[in-house]
Structures are given as structure tokens and as C-alpha cells.
Amino acid sequence: MESINQPGAGVAAQSSEDSRLLRELVDHLRQRRPELQQEWAARITDAQLLHVMRSDEIFSEVTAVYDNYVNALETGSVAALRAYARDLSERIVRRGVETDEVLGVVLLLRDVLARALFVRHQGAAEPFNRRERESRVALDSRSRPGSP
């Protein structure tokens, strides 16, 4: 089984906190599936990507890619996602979809999911911002002459 995790670092090596966060992410993506798929499909259409496909075909592919992506997150296996992506690429490239369009579609998915997570955790941004500031201060102090 091909895994998302680092080689030799099986799922058992994940901390219980990492496992909990991953389960929470998967649950969130499943609960918001209809609206995130709709947003993704709309952004694909707005960006005029996959223009050789009808809107119902785009939505069908969005559904399949989204479900395969969430399953890969849940199981840690990218084999099914990779096989689906290869098949999809072969099918749509034959129809005239350009490689940059495929990349654009993937980047739009990333943007839609990132935005959804940001909105969900917006109230929790301060701890992340504080850690970032602390890290920056620590890095700055190390880069000064005479610092250890």
C-alpha cells in the first residue's frame, strides 16, 4: 500500500493528537462535502477551466476527485487517488483539456479546502500567530552577529 506518511513511519507512529486532528479534518470535509464541491465546481467554471466538458461532467469529476482525496486522507493510501487521477488525465486530455487546466483545477481544490479550514479555525488564529511571532524572534536572534 502506497502511503502519504514518510517511509517507515506508519500510521502507528503518528501521535494521538495527529490522529485526532486528521479524523477531525476528514469528518469536517465529509460534512461540508456538498458545499465545498459546489464551490470548487463553480470556481472551475468561473476560471474557464475544463471548458470542453459540460457542467454536469465537471461536477461528476469534482465529486469523484473530492471523494478519492478524502479517502486518501483517511486511509493514508494514495494508490486509489493516483490511479483515478491517471485515468482522469488520460480521458480529459484526449478531449482537449490542457495540462495547465488540470493543474489549475488541482490548485483550485487546494484553495477551496484551505479557505474552508481557515474560516473554520479563524477564532483559533491567535495561537498560530503568536507561535509564528515567537519563531521569527528566535530566528532573528540567531541570525545576529555573536548569537549562538
- Tell me what percent of the residues of the chain surpass a pLDDT of 70: 73
**Domain chopping of the chain, boundaries:** 15-143
Tell whether pTM > 0.85: no
Q: What does the H/E/C string look like for the chain?
A: CCECCCCCCCHHHCCHHHHHHHHHHHHHHHHCHHHHHHHHHHHHHHCCCCCCCCHHHHHHHHHHHHHHHHHHHHHCECHHHHHHHHHHHHHHHHCCCCHHHHHHHHHHHHHHHHHHHHHHCHHHHHHHHHHHHHHHHHHHHHHCCCCC
Nearest to 109 by CA among 53, 54, 52, 47: 47
Where residue 132 falls (left for φ over 0; alpha for ψ -120 to 50; beta otherwise) is alpha
Phi and psi angles of residue 77, each rounded to the nearest 5 degrees, phi first: -105, 125
pLDDT tens for each residue of 18-48: 888 889 889 999 999 999 999 999 999 999 9
pLDDT tens for each residue of 73-94: 898 888 888 888 888 888 888 8
Judge contact between 28 and 120, C-beta under 8 A. yes
pLDDT for residue 139: 53
Q: Fill in the amino acid letter for 69.
A: Y
Q: Cα separation of 136 and 2, whole Å? A: 36
